[in-house]
Each structure stands twice: as C-alpha cells, then as structure tokens.
Structure 1
C-alpha cells in the first residue's frame, strides 16, 4: 500500500521525494496526509510543492488546509518530522486572475506547504475542544465544574435571544446582489467553474461535519457508500477540525477525502472558489449532498451557478435552539437546493410550516435500517432479583447533557440501591464527566464505558435508556434501544416525541429534568408491566415511523438517477 493509494483513495499528486516519510503510517494517518496533499494539489495546479510534515501532542488538532498551511504561521509547526516533494497532477486553469484576487493568490503562490497530521496515539485522549485562553470561558468552565446544572440554566437564559429565529421564516440569501455595488462582495465578481475535462470521472460532492462518531455521521457515511456502489467517485469535504477517528472506516474506501482545518475560507476568493473550481474542472460532478457542512452551504449558490440544474440535496436532523442551526442554514439557501431530506415528521413540519419551503421539496425518510431491524425484537425482561440497569449512551458533549444523567443517578442512588447505572461514550467532556461522578460519590456506582466496547453490549444489559439531551433530532440510540427490547425515557427535545409518548418525556430544563427523571425511573423500576407497556407503545410508534421509505432506500434511488 503506497501513500498515493491508501485503500483506493485517489491521489491528485505524484510524490517525487518521499524518503523521509515515516515507515509505518496507519490508515487514519495516511488518509489525513493524502487529504491534505490533495487539497494543496488542487490549490496549486500543475506545480511542484515542498511539504513539511509536523508532529504534535493530543491537544494539537491536525492542520491540513487552513491559511497557516501556506505560510507556516502556527504553533503547530514546532516539531518537523519529515519533508516530501509532490507534484500536482491537477490541470492548470488558463483563466486570467480577476480584480480582488490578489490576496488569495499571494497566499497560495509559494512552493512550500506545512501540514500537521496527528498520530493515532492522540485518540487515547479527549478531544481538546474544551481548551480556551479566553478568561470568560475559563470562568464559565469553573461554574460548570462546580454547579453544572446552574451552568445549563445560564446557557438557557443566553439562548433566549436566539429563539425568535425558530418561529419565523429565514430571509433567503440574495447571492447575485452580494456582488453588485453596495454588496458585501462588490469588489469581486462571480467566476463560474469551467466545464469538466473530457472523460473526467463521474463524481458526487459530499460536505460532512467531521469524521467522528454520531448518528448524523453514520447516515453521511452510508450515503457515501451508496454513491460509490452506484459507480460514482465520492469527493468528501469536512469543515470542522478534528482528529477524525472515523476517517479510516470502510465506507470511505475509494473516496477522495479532504478534511478541512479552520479558516480555509480565507484562502478562497468570493465568486471564484479556487478549490471548488479545480474539483468541478477535474471531475464530472453529477450531484452535491450536504450533511451539516457550513462551508458548503455558503457555496451552494456558486455551485448552482457553475453547473445549472445540478441536483443538490441537503440532509438535516435537528433544529438547534441556538438560532436553528443547520436547518436554518439550509433554509437560507433553499433556492439553491433541489431537495431537503429530513429524518422526522417534526423537522419536516418546521421546514414547511415555519420556513415556508415548498412541501414537495422536503422529503421525510427516517434512518431505519442503519442500526436497527424491525423484524425481530422482544422486550428485555427483568429477572427476579436482577438490579435495574439504567443506561446513557452518547457522546460526552454538552448537547447530550451527561451532567443531567449524573445528577439523576445521584438522586436515585441516595434511596435506591437496587439500581445500576452505565454511561457509555467518549467525547470532549469525558474527563470532566469522570471528575463529576467522583465529586458526586458515584465512582463505582456508575459504570463508564468508551467506544472500544460495542453499544450492543450495553443495551443487552440495560432495562431503561435515558436520553437527557439539551437538544436532539431523533436519536439513533432510541431506535437501537427499542430493537434490543429496552424502553426509552427522554427530555422533550427535537423529534423524540415522534417515538416517546408524553408520559415518558420530561422538560429539557436541566434542573427540572434532574428532578423528574429519578421519579420516572423509580416508577418503572417498581412496575414491570408499565415498563413493558412503554416499550410496546414506543415500538408501535417506531414501526409507524419506519414504515416510511428509509433514507438509505430513498437515496439509493436518487443517486442512481444522477
């Protein structure tokens, strides 16, 4: 396996000097490096580049595409590990530069590049997203560490100013006007991409959030696999920096991957879009699919202008309380989108009734079939004398509210020693959650598990799944739990009410959830028939939802039509 062909991953460059490359790069490390080199090959068509590679610790995220990779101005470039020379195989663009392109051309004109690819050892640590030099953020972290539910309350108060955006239609983006006198890009002009080269490979362009564990990512990876099976080359861009632990997954075999690091947009000229121009000229891109990628949302109008009539599909899962999140970003640019795919009736209603998007543009296709099988499920009975096992499964991130689960467990443990708890998941808050459990006296009471243990193992032990999230769409863990015979109780967020009945929902307010969840768990612990009936009701609601065509079935048909 050579660097240029990591499990079939296309390379847009040829290595002319590689003697300093580390002898043993993992698939993950190789894919990140190839992705960085592909980006720079696209940004420097036909040129030879000297690329310095650097190492770093767990708290240094990869630098692959941002402005510092052109000029070396980053603290990430302190420990050089190798130097290679690569020649771009991307055809040169014969067009003349436009007025306003001077800055980006000056940034990209040099022949030296700098990249930092984190080694696999960093995956043993929590992601470094909770580190900030900002003194205000340090104070907030201290509040969260000592009184996490109060911190949640303060966050909710701050979020009130964003709620108005959830109840009114978003103004549509007027792309052309931005380049006219008085517009934000009036110093630039729109330069569409040239036609693709003759016999260019057929491709589909995907915009993902990152290569990390999550329900949205599972669906995004499945859509990439379906595109490859339909005979297309998947071109996969991410726009959230990360160590990308999932980039080595088999669904990405054969894909052209470009994992962004922050601030990439500053090396692009509005209206010109050097990276996308190079991609659209090098490949016959037949469609675009967006999975929570703001960088690509911002460029959909330009793509549609470059390739009129190209199908553009956006897939969203969750309306975020902070101003609507990605569904709102989608509504802003709906004129450039062919189809809005959503995974729940709740989100479809929001796009149609609040955002006033044409109903026939919004397709509801749930994520059935990714991890669950409707055909075979039986209730997970509790044997006589068996302690009740209550589980949390999800990323250790603020959205998932692990602190609410911990508060619930502390309240229950004071009076109920017949209940066991499991918290299963990794993430940027994992170490903080462990500290919180210790401060609550729950070390040894709450079992902690990471992603090295299959989720199925936890669900085969559990009797109740608790979803205490501050914000959600419709969680895949809910569907997975029901498939294992485990009923679900949840905060009333997102589309959880499409499955979970009202009697098993609690308010999303952290203090109220922390008070009400223990009562609900206690009632189910004492009434096996009530727990069984809850599972039956949720299973019936799930069957009704999943009787719709699944996202995989729908997208497989769509992509074949491209």
Structure 2
C-alpha cells in the first residue's frame, strides 16, 4: 500500500475506553504508520476493569480526545466541532454505547462525513447498531458469521458490510523449541474473565479432565469482571491443586508459552485472536462451535470443535494425545502451517487500509 495522498482526510475512532492489546488500537496504530491521520476518542478515562492503554503516542501529537464530559445530546456539539476542526472524513464507532445516540445528530449536521460501525461479535453492541443504523454508512466485521448476521437482521436494502478477517503477527508467535511429553501436557484458558467467554465452563471441564486424566495440569490467564468469581470457584472445587490462576499477562505470548492445549469455551464470540496466536505457536485448540470460531478451527486438523460441556468427547481427544504424543505433535505442525497460510496480520492490515481509503475517497 502506498503513502497517504492529499485527498485523504482524518479518521476519528470512538471507543468507550482504551484497553491494552485491543485489536482496534493495533490496527489504528498500523494505519497511522501507513500515513493515515488517525484520531482516538474515548468516553471513559478508565479501562472498564482491564489494563488501560494510555495512548501516549497519540496524545503527544494531539490525536487523543477525551469525550468523558461529552455524554448525551449535549456532547454532540463537541463531537461535531472535533470532526470539523480536525477535518475528519471517517468516524469509526468502536463499541462506545455513549456515541451511538450522538451519531444521528452528527450525521444531520455533517452529512458528508462517513460514519461506520465496527462489530466483532453478536454480543454487546448489536442492538444499538440496528437502532441507529439509519445514520450509518456501513459496518466493518471480521467473520462470515457476523456478515451473515448483519445481512439477515438489517432493515437497510444495502447495509454496506465490509468483511476484514483478523490476523496476527506471525513473527511474534512461534512454536516452542522443546516439545512436551504425554505426562506433562498443560491445558489452558486465555481470555477475558466475562460471562460470554465462559471461564467457569473451563473450570468445570478442567475438573472433569482432572478426574479422568490425573497427570494433566491446567492454567488460566486473563482479567475482567469475573476474576474473583473464577478464583473462588477454583478454590472450592476438587481440582484446585492442579488449576493455576495466572491472571493478567503483559503479552499473549507469555501465557501461550505455558500451555500445550488451548480451550476456548465461549458462549458468544467473534473471531478470537487467541486461536490464531495459539496455532502460530503450534498449540492445538479445542473451541466451541459458535460465532466465527468454526472459521478458524478445522476439526481434526488444527484443533477440534466441541461444546465445552461435551466432556467425554474432549476427554477422548486429550487422552489420545497423552497416550500418543506423536499424534499431538502432528497437530502441532498442522497448526503452524494453517497459521502461516491463513492468519497473517499483514494481509489484515492491507485489507483495513483498502477499506479505510475507499471510505475516505467516497
């Protein structure tokens, strides 16, 4: 992709708050490096219980905007002023519930500005999306599952859906140098401690697997509203001695380096980065067959698709890996091959840039 042209205008990305490691911020920083004028807005100074991203690289260039005093209709004046003064051509709505009701007023005042929603999954913001979609010029999704969901539920004849499949930095994630043996396999969870991610489902599975395969060990990484609940559930259960709650880690690679099998027991999900990151590290994934997960996991190749409560089926797979470590290593190799073929971040960034520049031109 080439350098920024004189026709390009700025992009304002509206967030509820700024979370360290968020995909949106990774993408926006990359777009900034590619010459697009990116401005970041947020409505809460904290991070909703997560580790915050201070966005100092944006602040130093006056590209970080605090909308914490601009809630409600009264905040439209500030939003419209920012859009005009900073010559914003594209407003990205990235999950801020306070921004949604302001967008129709912004569109009325500034009809030439493009307003595009960004939806990663069906939980959280889809109701607001459909309530306010009349003022939206499009929506960016990352999976075919979400593309179909929007198409089936929109009231618009042409909702302008842009699908950009997410990807990861394959250089950051690589297979372990030493392969495990069957007596030391570690089964792990890495994700938000929130209801839709179902960390308690992982605990229940771990307890079943511990009873069936005592040599297994388990580890959980992540933070969120359910952290204390998960800790208490582990301590009260029969497998507390073999389930380690690791909590927050600064980088996903630090967590993935400590496990051999990743379980993604989500009740609702989009296209989880952690599956791609695990595969790039040569870690097979046992994932719930919901949302965009089946688009990432090829059953029997780079992992398996099971509901988290399918204890017997999951136990059978893990037991086979324990008994036949050569079979596990075959899956390790397949994971990396699939990651290199399908999960490259550079392709994702190229696609995002193409969509953003197209919207700015229009």
TM-score when normalising by structure 2 = 0.81
Q: Structure 1 residues 392-401 or 230-239, which shifts more?
A: 230-239
2:53 is equivalent to residue 247 of structure 1: yes
Consecutive unaligned residues in structure 2, runs of 5 or more: 1-8
The 8 Å contact of residues 421 and 446 in structure 1, kept in 2 or not, is answered as yes
2:9 is equivalent to residue 210 of structure 1: no
The 8 Å contact of residues 203 and 234 in structure 2, kept in 1 or not, is answered as yes
2:277 matched residue in structure 1: 480
What is the CA-CA distance between 1:335 and the residue it aligns to? 3.6
2:66 is equivalent to residue 258 of structure 1: yes
1:338 matched residue in structure 2: 137
The 8 Å contact of residues 237 and 257 in structure 1, kept in 2 or not, is answered as yes
Deviation sequence 1:262-284 (CA, Å, 0-9, x none): x932xx35xx8333233245432
CA–CA separation in structure 2 for the residues paired with 1:436 and 1:533: 35
What is the CA-CA distance between 1:415 and the residue it aligns to? 3.4
2:299 is equivalent to residue 499 of structure 1: no
The 8 Å contact of residues 225 and 252 in structure 1, kept in 2 or not, is answered as no
1:524 matched residue in structure 2: 321
Tell me how large the CA RMSD over aligned residues is.
3.4
CA–CA separation in structure 2 for the residues paired with 1:259 and 1:519: 52
2:6 matched residue in structure 1: none
Matches within 5 A, 1:420-459: 420-452=217-249, 454-459=251-256
Bigger RCO of structures 1 and 2 (CA < 8 A, at least 6 apart): 2
Partner residue of 1:326 out of 110, 125, 140: 125
Partner residue of 1:294 out of 94, 97, 101: 97
3-state SS in 2 of match to 1:286? strand
Partner residue of 1:238 out of 43, 47, 54: 43
3-state SS in 2 of match to 1:298? helix
What is the CA-CA distance between 1:495 and the residue it aligns to? 0.5
Q: Structure 1 residues 557, 208: closer, same or farther in 2, change over 3 A? A: same
What is the CA-CA distance between 1:497 and the residue it aligns to? 0.2
What is the CA-CA distance between 1:538 and the residue it aligns to? 5.2
1:137 matched residue in structure 2: none
CA–CA separation in structure 2 for the residues paired with 1:251 and 1:443: 42
Partner residue of 1:274 out of 69, 73, 77: 77
Q: Structure 1 residues 250, 464: closer, same or farther in 2, change over 3 A? A: farther
Deviation sequence 1:20-61 (CA, Å, 0-9, x none): xxxxxxxxxxxxxxxxxxxxxxxxxxxxxxxxxxxxxxxxxx
2:210 matched residue in structure 1: 413
What is the CA-CA distance between 1:478 and the residue it aligns to? 0.4
Deviation sequence 1:281-314 (CA, Å, 0-9, x none): 5432221011112222223222222222312222
Structure index of larger Rg: 1
What is the CA-CA distance between 1:239 and the residue it aligns to? 5.7
Q: Structure 1 residues 251, 450: closer, same or farther in 2, change over 3 A? A: farther
2:151 matched residue in structure 1: 352
3-state SS in 1 of match to 2:88? strand
What is the CA-CA distance between 1:460 and the residue it aligns to? 2.3
Q: Structure 1 residues 296, 372: closer, same or farther in 2, change over 3 A? A: farther
CA–CA separation in structure 2 for the residues paired with 1:359 and 1:489: 37
2:109 matched residue in structure 1: 306
TM-score when normalising by structure 1 = 0.54
CA–CA separation in structure 2 for the residues paired with 1:449 and 1:559: 38
CA–CA separation in structure 2 for the residues paired with 1:518 and 1:316: 34
Deviation sequence 1:430-451 (CA, Å, 0-9, x none): 2221211111143341122132
